[in-house]
Chains A and B, each alone.
Chain A
């Protein structure tokens, strides 16, 4: 695993996203301190750490969801394909199309299954019926839920089970063809079988997308991710290949956390 210094000397195109010396404030409270890390294309990165360590805050920085919080402030740089996403001329709506997000609690719109997935296309001005239908089907297939819903697309999404709703939300995010998918504890509200389906889905999606996932479940981080980053009290303590982190982490704090000695 390269050090940040080594990584920086490589070409920017190797990394889909990066964060450099990122500080984040909620008002006076410094929630993130000097976070520097790099995300490769078509890799899954898991962010782990105890409650309140800043991992979800960091995730939300990656598509500027934190902008919705009035007292928030960012120092430092986050890039997507080498471009600073906080530059003044950035179209935030376009950013959030490219960097999609799936949340902890499934939040389908109170609409039909079909409309949930098509919505993102419609608000982007795409009206061609055939195109929309094809894209909806493709997204539902990518989210591994097509077979379960193909015969009831007009039914309300709220009638689906929790696991199905979450996969629908993933399909909804995929419909606008993002490049990066952010997932904030996507399976924590789901039962073990639904969780397994989501994890399987992540394995398939990483062939096409770059995925960054926040999870409380360490075994899940170990199962799905290529790279694992450990956060503690707003700092990035250690980042490395997942198998190395879980067999011989470099920092004692990391070791203590993953072996359950604290947190």
Chain B
């Protein structure tokens, strides 16, 4: 039993460590968007493999425990949730890379022909990720549920970005259509990032309650 418990504790440390790493990357890419910092964006892209490597390691550890120990009940739910959260964190890492690519593109123009202030949207998505990871650490069902509600706010920002950028393009603020498209795409990536944070919160809820609460089934 002690051996098994040590294995579970090890996995818990690993997933929280990955969570912290991804949270840090999200924070830094948000900085890169605001500062149009190409160097930072490129650095983040180069470091993405660290996230991928950790994801693989965590998944293999989970499979090993399941094969060797045949866990049931809360232990089983924990491992299933970890495998899924693991996957969502890696996807968040991918979205961060996508955002980095947009930043590199739009920062090619030393003077921005048009700006959309992403700071609020980015901050909201970042706080959703932080809250979902906190709910995991603290096994806090209420915190997990709060995250699910915040997803709507991020969607509103996405719609706002679409409307404003579309309008600006119609108004002909610049001939550099590539610039405008890449600026718009940032909103998609942030929105996907927030979706993955929502998934993590749903998985924490499942871990705690044993009820599957996906796809807006929670009242």
Contacts and interface: CB of A to CB of B under 8 A. Distances in A.
A binds B: yes
Interface string A233-263: 0000000000000111100000100111100
B196 interface: no
A247 B1 contact: no
Interface stretch (B69-77, B136-144, B157-165, B187-195): B69-77
B172 to A, nearest CB: 59
Counting chain B residues whose Cβ lies within 8 A of the other chain, the interface size class is 10 to 19
Given A247-B210, A248-B210, A261 B73 contact: no
A251 to B, nearest CB: 11
A258 B72 contact: yes
Given A260-B1, A260-B4, A247 B77 contact: yes
Nearest to B80: A247
A249 B73 contact: yes
B72 A218 contact: yes
Nearest to B5: A261
Interface residues of A, number: 12
Contacts of A260: 1, 4
B139 to A, nearest CB: 15
A100 to B, nearest CB: 31
Interface of A is mostly: helix
A9 interface: no
Nearest to B75: A259
A160 B4 CA distance: 39
Nearest to B8: A259
Nearest to A219: B70
Nearest to A244: B210
Contact of A255 (B1, B4, B70, B74): B74
Contacts of B4: 260
A258 B72 CA distance: 7
B138 to A, nearest CB: 20
Contacts of A205: none
A248 B1 contact: no
A248 B77 contact: yes
Interface of B: 1, 4, 70-77, 209-210
Please provide the 8 A-B residue pairs with the shortest distance between their CB atoms, ordered closest to farther. A248-B210, A246-B72, A255-B73, A260-B1, A258-B72, A259-B75, A259-B73, A249-B73
Given A248-B77, A260-B4, A261-B1, 12 more contacts: A218-B72, A246-B73, A246-B76, A247-B73, A247-B77, A248-B73, A248-B210, A255-B73, A255-B74, A258-B72, A258-B73, A260-B1
20 contacts: A218-B72, A219-B70, A222-B72, A246-B72, A246-B73, A247-B72, A247-B73, A247-B76, A247-B210, A248-B77, A248-B209, A248-B210, A249-B73, A255-B73, A258-B72, A258-B73, A259-B75, A260-B1, A260-B4, A261-B1
